[in-house]
Structure 1
Amino acid sequence: MEVKPELVINELLSQITALSRERAIYAALVTQYQQELAQVKQELEQLKQESPDKE
């Protein structure tokens, strides 16, 4: 059985495309979670400053 190089190349390109798409989604989620975490930390600090006697 002869393996056609074009088929192997096309399959590899397809896998690379899928992995690139997954990585982009992952990077976007990480960025979003980092922004949300920073916002929550900022809000927590504001609450602590507003009511320091309630800790």
Structure 2
Amino acid sequence: MAVPKKRTSKAKSRSRKANWKRKAKHASQKAISLGKSALSGKNQSFIYISETNTNIT
């Protein structure tokens, strides 16, 4: 069975954690921005069908 030979340094593990948190922050900001644009009605990147316009006969 393979085992690591040396211990990972604190700096390397902290840098990995910081990178993971930065990616999560970027994804959350993007999601909030997308939600705001959908609610404001100024969206151009996707088609959004609202509940009031579903009266298609």
The Cα RMSD (Å) is 1.6
The structure number with the bigger radius of gyration is 1
Query: Residues 5-44 of structure 1: matches in 2 within 5 Å?
Result: 5-36=10-41
TM-score normalised according to structure 1 size: 0.61
Overall identity of the aligned pairs, in %: 3
1:34 positional shift: 0.9
Ranges of 4+ aligned residues in structure 1 off by more than 2 Å: none
After superposition, what is the alpha-carbon deviation per residue over 1:11-43, rounded to whole angstroms, capped at 9, x for unaligned?
Answer: 00011111101110110000000111xxxx7xx
1:3 positional shift: 1.4
- How many residues were matched structurally? 38
TM-score normalised according to structure 2 size: 0.59
